[in-house]
Structure 1
Amino acid sequence: MSEDKFDAIIVGGGLAGSVAGYILAKAGLEVVVIERGNYSGAKNMTGGRLYSHSLERIIPNFAEVAPVERKVTKERISLMTDQSATTVDYSSNKLGVKGKDSYVVLRGKFDRWLAEEAENQGAMFVYGICVDDLIIEDGKVNGVLAAGEEMRANAVILADGVNSLLAQKIGFKKELDAHEVAVGAKEVIRLDEKTICNRFNVKENEGLAWLFAGSCSGGNIGGGFLYTNKDSISLGIVATLGDIGKSEKSIPELLEDFKKHPVIQPLIAGGELEEYSAHLVPEGGYSTIPTLYKDGVLVVGDAANLVINIGYMVRGMDLAIESGKLAAETILKAKERNDFSQASLAHYQQELENSFVMKDLKHYKKFPTFMQNYRIFNEYPQMLDEIMEKMFMVDGSEPEKILSKAMKPAKKVGLLTILKDGYKGVKAL
């Protein structure tokens, strides 16, 4: 490397950026990561669940040393009305099997740890600086402009999040449609460790991941989430931008209503608000993936819209980690050839296509469209509530067959409509 040129510049110190920096520095390349926050994770607020498989292959046994909160051993999914919730609960030690396990994390802590791991390998991190533009010469990205200074590199990795202005500037991605991006708001509510274990019936270091749909998002496209940390609860709401403008309530108001719901309120009683944050989340899936490479530049993580939301499961961290890894490995091969052209960096796209990242995104590519069905957030939670009420309420009236109890609420939605929606849902999965 010449004195004024890096092998790689990474814009963004989140999971994808730090993993790319870790791998490149470990291989001996000169790499700098530029993060606009005061530290890695300062700007990140995702609900907080990390599926371990991708990072486990990069840093074996990472969970033994990383600041993870709890291993997820309980899954819950609820359809909510204003006063009730119909919930599916799955508890199993199978969820904790190594390589198939997942962890609740607080990104401020976890991302900082991962950045430090990259620094220990020799990556340089620069904090509190915003990258204003890319240096483009003869059609090739040769570096960045940051804080009024030029920084040059053989390759630049854009890991600057869902609203990647740099990727938009070079024509890689368009501004996302309002129904392709959501805004999430989250509170971290402090509770002592013993209280969390008792309230959620979990053991020490084991935890719960709980997703909600229905009234929590005001009946609009979106949902709620609850994750148990060691001594706090991560509780939040996500709603698409397309629905926020026509909603009667703002995101903060929906979050307050969520906290007061009869199911949620007892779980956070006595808790102390520790943190409040908001963040944009890509929701469009496979169809919204932008151009991912060109001469001298690659796009990874949320900047590449690599997020999967299939209602009962939301994934982004494991995809971001894998994309950062594959981008770094592509640059290592380009370094060997001393060729950072578009043709050389096409290896990144090829490896993504062969990885779980694109295979999973393709598999679920129809689901974002299916989730634009407002019955999922209105009629179906109400239907299930009425069925459960008829099943469990006893008032001395004449008994009724179970099928009859179920059919009356179902007919309000329409049996044919239910069949059609069920078929579309199965097909989308």
Structure 2
Amino acid sequence: MNQLAAEGILGSYPERERQMMDLTEMGQRAKKAATILASSSTQVKNSALILMADALMENSVRVMEANQKDVEESQARGMSEILLDRLVLNEKRVADMAEGIKSLIGLPDPVGEIIWGSRLPNGLILTKVRVPLGVVGIIYEARPNVTVDASVLCLKSGNAVILRGSSNTLSSNVALVGVLRDCLKEAGLPEDSIQLVSSPEREYAVQLMRLREYVDVLIPRGGKDLIENVVANSTVPVIETGIGNCHIYVDENADVEMALQILLNAKTQRPSVCNAAESLLVHGSIADVFLPRAIQALTEKKVTVYGCSRTLSYGQEVLPASEDDYYREYLDLKIAVKVLDSLQEAIDHINKYGSHHSDAIVTNDYCSAQKFTQEVDSAAVYVNASTRFTDGFQYGLGAEIGISTQRLHARGPMGLKELTTSKFVVYGQGQVRK
């Protein structure tokens, strides 16, 4: 890290925080920063975002150099090519992060929004106002873009953030946070609005989970083991951003060409992300027409197909699927396939094996589409579209802090409004309760 500091990659990130982490102190500083952010104007927050977008591009070479160190170390540890894809930062991805920051500038500031109001019979004016959550903790795996997305979303929504990434992205995260903190200082906002737990030691992740006095909500982003660990061990309230066992269901009335296009996009466009399709369900009456072509197309894209006994008859390339395969989030060029005899079977299968993330039906039948959208219990349900659209940027929310698959406090892509809560503000003229 000293070499990185000498090269200017670490920006203003304090050396003492890299040497010895004191999470209680970090929490105290975050709490103070959150108080200032909560009352900061939209203009000041947007000015910081402008600086961040520009600084990210200006420092892109140094950020990518830090990222290359992470990539080389992860390769040496045997990380798969698919997972490496999530780690790599190139010119386009850095530019996309900068563009994501700029997209937030034009979005309405949720802080201070009056959700509703009324006048009570006693003359009191009652308003419900949107306010920041406070201090947000993020524990996440090898995706450096999360460092930027989480930081800027929290900033715009008036929250301080404490980030804890994985050891695989340590150099990238330190570099990125250094750039962002420099911009906060230049904009006149507290640098401690964004802090990084820059030690890879597991004990610090555990401490963050227990920092209830200072952290208001904890958001895990990553695989099943990470999320379950945080939910089981955190004393801080948790918003689950679940894994993505997403389904494509090809109904008996589907357009075959459309179904093929949607399937290939959902599975192969970027297989390492949570909104990629992991399971394909096909109605038995269209299987003879659709499955041979689908299996061939998937195989040509180097996708390994695991299928039920009926699916096996449609291609020698198909491997037998186990029960566990239908629960699996592959994050890889692999897919589980099952032939079913009714729409209801497909719905029941998704609700049993799925992760309540994103699921799609391909059909030309309106009634089937309506039934699917009403009964599939997922955060995002699609009709004739790829699951790859479950994304804050694609939804027009700017970036996102994650895809919540639980019912409280938010569900689906978590943008600015989902990073706020509310409080009642009551105006009176001397009223007292009798």
Q: Which has the higher strand share?
A: 1
Q: Which has the higher helix share?
A: 2
TM range (shorter): under 0.3
